[in-house]
Structure 1
Amino acid sequence: MEYGGAIGLGLLAGILARVLLLRSDYRQYPTYPHGYSTHLLMGVFAALAGAVAVPALLEKEWTAVTFFLLVAEQFRSIRGMERDSLKALEDSELVPRGTEYIENIARVFETRYYIVIVVSAATTMGAVKTSPLMGAVFGALAFMWGLVLTRVETVGETVEVRAAQVTVRGSDVWVEDIHISSVGLEKSRQFIEERAIGAILTPLNDEGRDTLASYGQRQAMLHDAAAVLGVRIDADSPEFAPQAKRDLKTGKVAVLIVPMDGDERLLLEVLRRTPVLESARGRTRFLRVGHLNPKIRARRNRLGGNDPEGDPGGGCR
C-alpha cells in the first residue's frame, strides 16, 4: 500500500497518545481494569480514524472522508458514557462528586479522544508529505498542543489554603470564625472536637473568589478530601459528613472533615490540587472581557456603570 507505512505510524502515535493521556486516580473513572480496557480500545479506534482520514482526503475519496467524519462524531458519546458511569456510582458514594464535577470529568474524557485523532492525523500527514521522522515530530507537536489546551488549573493557584482550628461552642461547630453546623448530641460534639480537622480557603483574586462561590466546586473539594483521607460517616451518622461553608462577607470558605486519617497537611494538599471546574470560571472570564474591551469600558463609563450591553448585571442574563 502506498500509504501503509504512514497509516501504521499514525496509528501507533495515536495509540501512544491515548496511553499517555490515560489517567487513573482518586478523582476519575476508570479506576478499574475493565475501564482501562474500554478506553484503550476506543483509543485504537480514534487513532485509526485519524490515520486513515488523511490518505482518504489526499486521494479525494470524499465518501471515505464523510464516513470518518461520522466516526469522529460518534466519539461525542464518550461524554455520555462517562457521565452515566459516574452517575451510577453517585448513590453509593458517602460524599458525592456532584453533577458539575461529573460533567467536568466527562468533558475531559471526550476531549482526549479528539487529541488522539489530531495526533494520529498530524503524524500521518507529516509522514506522507515529508518523512516518517518529521511525521513523528508533527505528532509530538500536536500532542504538546493538546496538553496545553487541556491543562487543568487547580484551586491552589488562585486560593490560599491554610489549616484552621475547629471549635465547639455550645451546640455549634465553628472553623475559626465561620459557623459550620449545629450538632445536638453531646457525644457527637465531643467526637468532632477531638477528631475533626479544618481549613480556611481565602481567594487571592476575582478568579479565586468565583471558584469558591461555586457550590459544585466546593462539593468537588469535599469529595476529593473524603476520597483521600477517608471519612467517619455512615448512613446513620450524617453529622460527621464533610462540610464547606462560605462567609458571605469575605468570600472565605471553611472546610471541616472528620477523617479516618487525621493528616492535616494531606488535607491542605488535596484541597490545593482539586481541579477548578469550568463552570466555576464563566463569570470571571465574562467580566474580564467586558473590563478589557475599550468600547465596552467607555460605554459603561458614559452610562455611569450601568451598561445593559457590557455589564453582566444589566441586560446580559
Structure 2
Amino acid sequence: MSQLGHYTEAIIIGILFGLIARIWMLRTDYRQYPTYPHGYIIHLSLGLIAAALGAVAVPALLEKDFTAVTFLTVAAQQFRDVRNMEREMLLNLDEMELVPRGKSYIEGIAMVFEGRNYLTIFTSLLTSLAAVLFKSWWSGSIVGIIVLLLIRFIKSGQVIREIADVSEGEIRIEGPNLYVDDIYIMNIGLDDNKKHILENALGVVLKPKNASGRVTLGNMGQRQAIIHNVSTILGVYRDTGEPALLPLAKRDLKDGRLGIFLLPQDRNIKEVFEVINLTPVLEGAVRQPTQAQN
C-alpha cells in the first residue's frame, strides 16, 4: 500500500475512534443537558470536527506540514468559546429552575464539555499515530480501544460518598427555628409553612470523612449541587414565591457536619441517600488542606 493509502487509512480509523469516544462521553441524564435531539447534534458535530483535527494532525506533521499545529490552536480557541456559550445558556436556563443548579455546578458542566472535546482529539490523534507507525488499521484499533478504556476511567470523578457519610437527620421546629438534628437551618415565621415542613420535609446529615471533605462540603456551590440533584430527581414540594419551602444546607461550625433540609415529592429516604451519595464532587469545590506541604 502506498504512503498516501496508509495516511488515508490512519485518518479514517482516527476519526472513527474519536467520534466513538465523543458519543461514549455524551448522554442526557437528570440534568436534561444536552437536550435531545438538537443539543446532541451540536455536540456530535463538534466531536466530529475535533476527531478530524486529531486524525489529520499526525500525517500532516510527519509530512512536515506544520500548519496543522496552527489548526489545533484555532480549535482550542473555538472549544473555549463553546465553553463560554454553554455557561451563558445554562445560566439563563437556571433562572427558570425551582431549585437552581448554582454557578459552580454550571461552570463544572461547561468545563466538562470543553474537556471532552480535547479527549476526542487525544483519542483520534493516538489512534491515527498508531495506524501510521505500525502501518495497519488493526494496530490503530487496538490503541483506540485502550484509549477508550482510559477515557472511561478519566471521565468519572469523585462522588459525595467518597468524602462523607450520609445519614438521616431529625427535622425539628423550636419556636420559629428549624433544625436538622442540632444544626440550625433557618427561621420559619408562618404556621402554615411549619405545617407543610413537618408533613413533607426530610433531613439529611453529611459527616465528612476527613479535613479535606469538611472544607469541600463547606463550599456553597457543592451544597447547591446536592440540593439541586435531589430536587430534580425526586421532585420538590414547592412553587414560586415560597422562600420558606426552599431546600437549604447549613454547616455545623464545630465539626463540619452538613445539615440538609429537603422537601422531596418522593419521600423515600433510601433514594435520597442514593442520589446524594452519587452527586459529583465539583472540581471547583475540591480542597486538599491535608495534603498541603508544611
| Equivalent residue number for residue 305 of structure 1 | none
Deviation at 1:28, TM superposition (A): 5.9
Q: Give the deviation of 1:238 after TM superposition.
A: 1.4
1:56 aligns with 2:60: yes
Q: Does 1:273 align with 2:278?
A: yes
RMSD: 1.5
Aligned equivalents of 1:69 and 1:143: distance in 2? 24
1:214 corresponds in structure 2 to: 219
Aligned runs of 1:139-288 on 2, under 5 Å?
Answer: 139-282=144-287, 284=288, 287-288=290-291
Give, in whole Å, the separation in 2 of the partners of 1:63 and 1:252.
55
Match of 1:112 in 2: 116
Normalising to structure 1: TM-score of the pair? 0.87
Deviation at 1:74, TM superposition (A): 1.8
Contact 1:25–1:31 (CA under 8 A) maintained in structure 2: no
Conserved in 2, the CA contact under 8 Å of 1:49 and 1:72?
no
Secondary structure in 2 matching 1:248: coil
* Secondary structure, counterpart of 2:205 in structure 1: strand
* Structure 2 alignment gaps of length 5 or more: none
Counterpart selection for 2:104 from 100, 112, 121: 100
Q: Which residue pairs with 1:313 in the alignment?
A: none
Distance in 2 of aligned mates of 1:210 and 1:141:
36
For 1:142, what is the secondary structure of its paired residue? helix
Identity rate of aligned residues, in percent? 44
Contact 2:128–2:140 (Cα < 8 Å) also in 1: yes
**Residues 287 and 202 of structure 1: is their aligned pair in 2 closer, same or farther, counting only changes over 3 Å?**
closer
C-alpha spacing 1:254/1:263, structure 2 compared with 1 (3 Å): same
- The offset of 1:137, in angstroms, is 1.6
Partner of 1:90: 94
Alignment partner of 1:75: what SS?
helix
- SS in structure 2 at match of 1:174: strand
How far apart are 1:173 and its partner, in Å? Answer: 1.6
Query: In the TM superposition, what is the alpha-carbon distance from 1:144 to its structure 2 partner?
Result: 3.0
State whether residues 29 and 82 of structure 1, in contact with CA within 8 Å, keep that contact through their aligned partners in structure 2. Answer: no
- The counterpart of 2:17, out of the listed 13, 16, 22, is 13
The answer to whether residue 145 in structure 2 is matched with residue 137 in structure 1 is: no
In the other structure, the counterpart of 2:35 is: 31
Quote how far apart the aligned CAs of 1:287 are.
4.7
| CA positional deviation for 1:141 | 2.4
1:168 aligned counterpart, secondary structure: strand
Q: State TM-score, norm by structure 2.
A: 0.93
Q: Cα–Cα, structure 1 residues 279 and 72, in superposed 2: closer, same or farther, change >3 Å? A: closer
> Residues 228-265 of structure 1: CA distance to partner in whole angstroms, max 9, x if unpaired?
11112122211111010111111011111112111111
Q: 2:128 aligns with which of 115, 124, 127?
A: 124
Does structure 1 conserve the Cα–Cα contact (< 8 Å) formed by 2:53 and 2:71? no
* Counterpart residue type for residue 120 of structure 1: S
Q: Any conservation in 1 of the 2:159–2:280 contact (CA below 8 Å)?
A: yes
Helix, strand or coil at the partner of 1:201: strand
SS at match of 2:266: coil
